[in-house]
A = this chain, B = another copy of it.
Amino acid sequence: MLKDCLEQVRKTTPLIHNITNYVTVNDVANILLACGGSPIMADAQEEAEDITSICGGLNINIGTLNERTIPSMFLAGKKANQLGHPVLLDPVGAGASRLRTETALNIIKEVNVQVIRGNMSEIKTLVLGSGTTRGVDADISDAVTDENLKESVEFVKKSAKALNTILAVTGAIDLVSDGETCYVIRNGRPEMGQITGTGCQLSGMMAAYITANPDNMLEAAAAAVCVMGVAGETGWQQMREGEGNSTYRNRIIDAVYSMDGEALEKGARYEIR
């Protein structure tokens, strides 16, 4: 049950080490607190392993990667592997620069990553060596639609198997697969794309979900996607005349803060393929 995954996060307050970008970092910290987790942000090589060691899980986000923080991603990732902590990778903008593509590929090669969450363009870049990323957003030609759903599910399953990880590919329709099973999730609103960092926020929250549910990571990853989508819907319902993306950002985090297991079960719209 998705509900159990949510409650497990609130019960265990997983401490998550985030090496993430400075654009959306504050929202990532606040959504981690909203969902019941506890965030720590630290990207210095000198402390990466120490911080990983006191945490329960690791969230690596390459959004504003640089020569100083990239080595920290590897140090923290390897330490998390040693300790058996789950690692989530958000390959922000893979395909937009060689540095991003290569860094993401190297992380996958050198670190045992439990979940990769990205948009379809980023995932295609990692799997096929090419995607049509438009900056940090997915290219419209990569969108998962009802028309290409069957092929998309097959692609995500095959890719998850090839990468030996859970893949969470988010967009209008979200696909979450461990290579065998695929959640097809239809929550959320298109306006979420007009807020910076809803993807980063989801990654942070998902790291808490898989950390709190180590024996059930596929469902936990899917649950996090549903939480974000349901929060996007709830937050939108509360929008008032004249409000826009900045207030919507607050309302989504607020909705995560207020969500309980019942509301999640009631709001989640998904099928398993």
Contacts and interface: CB of A to CB of B under 8 A. Distances in A.
A46 B99 contact: yes
B246 A254 contact: yes
A30 B251 CA distance: 15
Interface residues of A, number: 64
Nearest to A44: B66
A246 B257 contact: yes
B194 A34 contact: yes
A199 interface: no
A61 to B, nearest CB: 12
Contacts of A255: 242, 244
A22 to B, nearest CB: 4
A246 B238 contact: no
A135 interface: yes
B246 A38 contact: no
Report copies per complex.
3
Interface in A217-240: 234, 238
Given A97-B50, A242-B255, A43 B64 contact: yes
A175 interface: no
A253 interface: yes
A197 interface: yes
Contacts of A44: 64-67, 99
A24 interface: yes
Interface of A: 15, 21-27, 29-30, 33-34, 38-47, 50-51, 54-55, 63-68, 93, 96-100, 134-137, 194-197, 234, 238, 242-247, 249-258
Given A33-B195, A34-B245, A246-B252, 9 more contacts: A24-B26, A29-B197, A50-B96, A51-B97, A194-B257, A242-B254, A242-B258, A245-B253, A246-B253
29 contacts: A15-B134, A21-B41, A23-B25, A23-B26, A24-B29, A26-B27, A26-B196, A26-B197, A30-B246, A33-B194, A33-B196, A34-B245, A38-B134, A38-B135, A39-B135, A39-B196, A42-B64, A44-B64, A46-B97, A46-B99, A194-B257, A242-B251, A243-B258, A244-B255, A244-B257, A244-B258, A246-B250, A247-B254, A250-B250
